Amino acid sequence: MKPELTIVISVYNEEENLVQLLKVIKTDIPVSKELIFVNDGSTDNSFDVLRDLKAKEETPDTRIKLVNFSKNFGHEAAMLAGLKHSTGKFIVCMDADLQHPPAVAYLMYRKAVNEGKEIILAKRKSRRNTGITKKLTTWIFYKFINLISPFKFDPAVSDFFLVTEKVKNIITGQFTESNLFLRGIIQNIGFEKDFVEYEEGERFTGKSNYSLTKLFILSMEAIVSYSKLPLYLSIYLGLGFGLLAFVVAIYSVVMKFVGNTPPGYTTIVVLVSFMASILFLVLGIMGIYIGFIFEEQKKRPVYIEKEVIE
Ligand code: UDP
Ligand code: MG
């Protein structure tokens, strides 16, 4: 029988947290469920712990699936794999370190069932346990992407969310790009959406696996995936330089007649400034074409059907 709820948990070096996590899930989520643990190339004993848990803790009400990656592909890829393997009517994605309280996941499930919502996003009230550098870089990233992208991203929403089976099928079936910024897609796919607020827990043990480098790469992927503005930048530069070249040209020509300029000076200045502006303009035009190719190769769905009545 189809489980009510699938819980996708991405695991990267979480051996110390898994037993406790399963315990809390079992007590706090009293509904038939399927747990999908995606082991994202952990270098510790996470997978052995998971195998052990499956052998000892699986019950008809709490089924356990394990997906094991060949190496570390990152949190996004792990969530996507979990979504693809899910069979529940509702699917929740959450972290393995107990920062996402299972009780909140249950709340999200209740909300989706009672209110008929398709997507429930967990919104953290405050960020605990986060260093000032991470807070600052995250703040800059969201300010920047919200400035240059036509889509909007909420900094308090992360990778803790619920979707219905229908929305899951769209995400796994119709988004064919390999650079999937999942939390961006979830927030911008439409559908009836709601939020639950939660207080982020402390990491049970261990330390964060999201290094600044990983965050930087994720940010780059998000920006490139959601904004074409950087590609168009040279058009603006070209126009700017064009204007500047014009002013410089007039100034140089005037100076040639009234001032005392060395021979050849005017020609060089005028030529160089016009060349620079033309160069940037041409680059910008290429940027526009690359932008279109870029949109095309993503093969994103052109539209999404919410339902079909026949
Ligand atoms: N994670 C993963 N692959 C990675 C890094 C992290 O699957 O390459 C998992 C990790 O095990 C955890 C979740 O993603 O369940 C969030 O990671 P973490 O707690 O390190 O990030 P933070 O909470 O600091 O943002
Ligand atoms: Mg964490």
Model pLDDT for residues 117-153, shown as the tens digit of each residue: 999 999 988 766 667 887 888 888 888 888 888 888 8
Average pLDDT over residues 22-38: 96
Q: Which residues contact 207 (CB under 8 A, 6 or more apart)?
A: none
The answer, yes or no, to whether residue 19 has pLDDT greater than 90, is: yes
pLDDT band of residue 102 (cuts 50, 70, 90) is very high
Domain range list for the chain:
5-227, 229-298
Supply the pLDDT for residue 92. 98
Does residue 27 or residue 227 have the better pLDDT? 27
Report pLDDT for 56: 93
Half-sphere exposure of 226 (CA within 13 A, CB side): 27
Q: Is 72 touching ligand 1 by the criterion CB < 6 Å?
A: yes
Q: Give the Cα-Cα-Cα angle 44, 47, 50 (nearest 5 degrees).
A: 130
d(CA 301, CA 173): 9
C-alpha torsion sign, points 107, 111, 112, 114: positive
The percent of residues above 90 in pLDDT, for the chain, comes to 44
**Nearest protein CA to atom 17 of ligand 1, as residue:** 209
> Do 119 and 185 contact (CB within 8 A), yes or no?
no
Nearest CA to ligand 1 atom 23: 208
Q: Which atom of ligand 1 is nearest to the CA of 207?
A: 20
Cα distances from 291 to residues 17, 147, 202, in angstroms, run: 44, 18, 42
What DSSP designation does 59 have?
B
Ligand with the closest atom to the CA of 138: 1
Q: Which residue has the tokens 């005392």?
A: 260
CATH topology of domain 5-227: Spore Coat Polysaccharide Biosynthesis Protein SpsA; Chain A (3.90.550)
Does ligand 1 come within 6 angstroms of the Cβ of 78?
A: yes
In this prediction, residue 86 carries a pLDDT of 96
More confident residue, 55 or 309: 55
Helix (H) and strand (E) counts in the chain: 10, 7
Q: Which is the closest atom of ligand 1 to the Cα of 72?
A: 8
Mean pLDDT of 67-77: 90
SS3 of 158, please? strand
Helix, strand, coil percentages for the chain (3-state, nearest 5): 50, 15, 35
pTM: 0.81
Alpha-carbon span 167 to 175, nearest angstrom: 11
Mean pLDDT over 76-103 rounds to 94
Per residue in 178-232, pLDDT (tens digit) is 777 888 889 889 998 999 999 888 888 888 877 778 888 888 888 888 888 887 8
Is the CB–ligand 1 distance for residue 76 below 6 Å? Answer: no
pLDDT of 107: 96
- Top mean pLDDT of 37-51, 125-139, 144-158, 266-280 is at 37-51
Q: Name, of 15-24, 128-137, 273-282, the range with top average pLDDT.
A: 15-24
Higher pLDDT, 254 or 10: 10
Residue 308's pLDDT is: 65
Say if residue 4's pLDDT is above 90: yes
pLDDT at 289: 85
Of 40 and 253, which is predicted with more confidence?
40
Kindly report the average pLDDT of the chain as a whole number: 87
Tell me the mean pLDDT in the region 29-38.
Answer: 96
Test site for ligand 1: of 7, 10, 214, most ligand atoms within 8 A of the Cβ: 10
Alpha carbons 115 and 226: distance in angstroms, whole number: 30
Q: Does 11 contact ligand 1 (Cβ within 6 A)?
A: yes
- Separation between Cα atoms, residue 116 and residue 120, nearest integer Å: 10
DSSP alpha helix (H) spans, 29-74? 46-57
Q: Is the CB of 10 under 6 A from ligand 1?
A: yes
